[in-house]
A = this chain, B = another copy of it.
Amino acid sequence: MSEQNCPLPLSYQHIVMAHGGGGRLMQQLLDDLIQPAFDNPLLKQKLDSAVLEIQAGKISFTTDSYVIKPLFFPGGDIGKLAVCGTLNDLAMSGARPLYLSCSLIIEEGFAIADLQKILASMQQTAAQAGVAIVTGDTKVVNKGQADGVYINTSGIGVIDSSIKINPQAVKTGDCILVNSDLGRHGMAVMLERDNLQFAHPLQSDCADLSGLVGELLAENIEIHCLRDLTRGGLAAALIEIAASAGLHFEINEAAIPINEHVQSACEVLGFDPLTIANEGAMALFVPESGVDDAFKVLSRHPLGKSARLIGKVVEKDQHGLVTLKNALGVSRVLDLFSGEQFPRIC
């Protein structure tokens, strides 16, 4: 193997068990590949933890493991997903993301060039959000005991605003908005995985929502609750928030924005787009008085341009329920699917 064929200053093109063994080969992987990818002074200290200066107050702390298949999909890859997902979880609490960790579980035999692409994607996404990847961990498992690479990202953000954003803050009369059309991530990943060809290829909506949330908060929009619409889609998110808040949500089905190609793919394959995972979509609960201002901010941001008002929190006898009203005025109760729909898409 000549140096010219190898894109890396490593003498291997695939991960071997020793890359996780604590010896010299592992040092090389960390020193020559992982640390340079996330280049920052905290990581360079090679400590087991990152020491960070934090102003007093509220911080937000979150974790997520990403096990998506395929690792590279239209609109993103597992690295972009792992960073966006954790930034979004922080943003949903109203936090400004500051620091991420990156913990890798790599399967023996994984192509180092692919690992490098994934790390570069993580770094690019984090840097765009102004966030540093400050601590990490790398494990290697035997061939057949993972599926390429699994990534855990945990994150810390600070909450500057005094607004409490959570399901308990949702009130009767609140308007329910979504920032974008739904179902693109789940359908794009599924079509790619099963190698299904549609006339209009779908792209994942995978994106960092923290900038948009920051702008909404900076404009003092009174947000009561935010929720990214990942596993289980809009349906799972609304049902969970309604249950936590003990309130009744009435959703206007026709108002839910769904891209026509997503709709077609769902119809062909027999899926409900409301239960499909998104990675750049969120629901927002805003009092009626704040809706116009919210739309002003949303409409000027690339991730908020397709925002729509999809429903309201209403006064009803039945609490903790979500009802969906169709174009004919017929209502049905939205329920969680009982088993699974999409494993491994986030």
Measured in the bound complex, the distance between the Cα atoms of B48 and A227 in whole Å is 8
Distance (whole angstroms) from the CB of A99 to the closest CB of chain B: 6
Copies of this protein in the complex: 2
Could you tell me which A residues sit within 8 Å of B by CB distance? Answer: 16-18, 20-27, 45-67, 88-90, 92-93, 95, 99, 101-105, 134-137, 139-142, 144-147, 150, 152, 154-157, 159, 166-167, 227-228, 230-233, 236, 240, 244, 275, 277, 336-344
Q: Which of A22, A23, A66, A240 has the most CB of B within 10 A?
A: A22
The answer to whether A52 touches B61, judged by C-beta atoms less than 8 angstroms apart, is: yes
Measured in the bound complex, the distance between the Cα atoms of B142 and A147 in whole Å is 9
Residues of chain B lying within 8 A (CB to CB) of residue A53: 57-58
Please provide the 10 A-B residue pairs with the shortest distance between their CB atoms, ordered closest to farther.
A21-B340, A22-B232, A22-B231, A49-B62, A56-B56, A18-B340, A154-B154, A63-B101, A48-B89, A18-B339
Q: Which secondary structure dominates where chain A touches chain B? A: mixed
The answer to whether B135 touches A338, judged by C-beta atoms less than 8 angstroms apart, is: no
Measured in the bound complex, the distance between the Cα atoms of B66 and A152 in whole Å is 11
The answer to whether B336 touches A27, judged by C-beta atoms less than 8 angstroms apart, is: yes
Residues of chain B lying within 8 A (CB to CB) of residue A51: 58-60, 93, 95, 159
Measured in the bound complex, the distance between the Cα atoms of B65 and A65 in whole Å is 10
Distance (whole angstroms) from the CB of A318 to the closest CB of chain B: 18
Residues of chain B lying within 8 A (CB to CB) of residue A154: 61, 63, 101, 103, 152, 154
The answer to whether B17 touches A92, judged by C-beta atoms less than 8 angstroms apart, is: no
Contact of A341 among B22, B102, B157 (CB under 8 A): B22
Distance (whole angstroms) from the CB of A134 to the closest CB of chain B: 7
Distance (whole angstroms) from the CB of A316 to the closest CB of chain B: 22
The answer to whether A343 touches B21, judged by C-beta atoms less than 8 angstroms apart, is: yes
The answer to whether A103 touches B152, judged by C-beta atoms less than 8 angstroms apart, is: yes
